[in-house]
Structure 1
């Protein structure tokens, strides 16, 4: 609080010093006179002084008394003006500390389902963030990063401090944290919002990076425990009041990453017409130069139409890939059941946000319309839309 007061007084002093009035001769008398003028305007309900008052100030003992009164009134007016401004600035500082000034930066492709998952999580919790749209061809926006995929969430020193609003201690020095992998980002920030004793650095140690070579001979990076929210027993009971809820959440989060995501490309690039429509959307919403956009729209659409066929074979999908999408979505709705609004009960949990984020990237495309018309997902999806739009997970 002392530091906040000091910063606030400095701001007030600077604003007064830098004002045009402060640079003219007679600054003090100008400021006092200005404040006293405002005070008399409030008292008399007019913007001018009564002539009798002005003449009395020029002569006699009464003039001296009234002059002192004017100066006193002016001083009190100035005091209250400065006091009001100090309170206003302190309120702004408090707003930042309570969450209004979060500085999260998300590096993303808008149409990437993994990036959409992270946005769904941040939006639902009402966490402000800036977006840096990455050019998918050159990727120069993330050339500073060894990790060359999106999403990347950068958490600067202010956010590390501000997220500590749930804790009794602050952060001693600014930090910048890079969070990779959509599921790690979500699990670690969720842990940080709930756990009142551990720092972000400590939490990130719970998700160690592991490098390996996949069946195609390509080096891949994975993260241990990425579906775990690292909580104590008391917190687990509060967040997951029913037995098995946490394991259910983890199961369906992994299902979204390992199965649902792989149904998106084969469905949105199912035919040449759908592939062209999808790339028209990607170019329109993404960050492409003029030539890159033209190339991506036509050459990319043709390439992805062929790649979608390979993905269908790799993931053992049916000839009509829509049926796999329908089956997956209906399995999800059946798992929620008729008695729950969401997988998390009355409020969405991390599995709800993951599935919603993945499906959302198809909006505006034929695959999305077909899914909404031919499955039972519509009512759950619309509830999720409202929850995300209204930031229903925001913590006051």
Structure 2
């Protein structure tokens, strides 16, 4: 299990990094790219997980900042789902980061462009195609790890105190669609509500050590990626 995860980690990092630089995305004909609008909270880790894929794939998209108190921006969408992210992809409403990512990856233009990127790495990726990797044990592991072990721990860290939570909600100052009164209300009430919500998450682990727990998860993630490079180097020597 660890060996397959490590191999997958090497594939992922080699696909993202080029000579020490982070790849900013793929070039594709914008005329054939899907129209994507993402309804988000600026500090939502699952929204950022979704945007990371869109930006890596070079997909143009627009965002709508949702008022976390009223969620007025979501009332025009069908259904009772009131969490973020929500995406409108070519007019179709898609709820939740995992479903959005799956639908984006299934778009023909994006899938073709990503497959080309995958094949750029040559022999390192010849053991499986991108489609095979997406359904592999390793891909499922990393997908769950990103959501359950990393993203889920971000709120308890950025909102671990009332002061930290208030600071995190400072983003509302730059949201032009919010009125001055809304900005004051969101930063005051929103930061208070998020502090108590984050406290519930902390209670499920060690409430006094949210940053140590997140650091441990990140170290494990980086260690597996480093191990994957060592493993690949050894395989090449045989």
On whether the aligned pair clears a TM of 0.5, the verdict is yes
Q: Quick one: structure 1 residues 255 and 323, their matched pair in 2 at CA, closer, same or farther if it must change by over 3 Å?
A: same
Q: Quick one: structure 1 residues 127 and 304, their matched pair in 2 at CA, closer, same or farther if it must change by over 3 Å?
A: closer
CA distance in 2, matches of 1:288, 1:279: 13
CA distance in 2, matches of 1:272, 1:150: 23
1:1-396 aligned within 5 A: 99-101=29-31, 102=33, 103-144=35-76, 145-146=78-79, 147-156=81-90, 176-193=91-108, 237-239=128-130, 246-281=136-171, 283-286=172-175, 288-313=178-203, 315-340=204-229
Cα offset, 1:240, TM superposition:
6.8
Residue pair 1:135, 1:141 contacting (<8 A) in 2 also: yes
Q: Quick one: structure 1 residues 298 and 195, their matched pair in 2 at CA, closer, same or farther if it must change by over 3 Å?
A: closer
* Over 4 Å off, 4+ runs: none
CA distance in 1, matches of 2:69, 2:208: 31
Cα offset, 1:317, TM superposition:
2.5
CA distance in 2, matches of 1:112, 1:339: 30
Deviation string 1:161-193 (CA, Å, 9 cap, x unpaired) is: xxxxxxxxxxxxxxx322221111112221334
Cα offset, 1:325, TM superposition:
0.9
CA distance in 2, matches of 1:192, 1:307: 35
CA distance in 2, matches of 1:236, 1:338: 18
CA distance in 1, matches of 2:131, 2:36: 27
SS in 1 for 2:106: helix
CA distance in 2, matches of 1:117, 1:297: 23
**Which runs of 5 or more residues in structure 1 are unaligned?**
1-97, 157-175, 197-234, 346-396
Cα offset, 1:247, TM superposition:
1.4
Cα offset, 1:337, TM superposition:
2.0
Residue pair 1:99, 1:127 contacting (<8 A) in 2 also: no
Q: Quick one: structure 1 residues 320 and 285, their matched pair in 2 at CA, closer, same or farther if it must change by over 3 Å?
A: farther
Cα offset, 1:259, TM superposition:
2.6
Residue pair 2:68, 2:190 contacting (<8 A) in 1 also: no
CA distance in 1, matches of 2:158, 2:190: 13
Q: TM-score, normalised by structure 2?
A: 0.66
Alignment RMSD (CA, Å): 3.0
CA distance in 1, matches of 2:59, 2:87: 13
SS in 2 for 1:259: helix
Q: Quick one: structure 1 residues 317 and 120, their matched pair in 2 at CA, closer, same or farther if it must change by over 3 Å?
A: same
CA distance in 2, matches of 1:327, 1:182: 24
Aligned residues: 185
CA distance in 2, matches of 1:245, 1:331: 23
Cα offset, 1:123, TM superposition:
0.8
Q: TM-score, normalised by structure 1?
A: 0.42
Cα offset, 1:124, TM superposition:
0.6
CA distance in 2, matches of 1:132, 1:236: 40
Residue pair 1:318, 1:324 contacting (<8 A) in 2 also: no
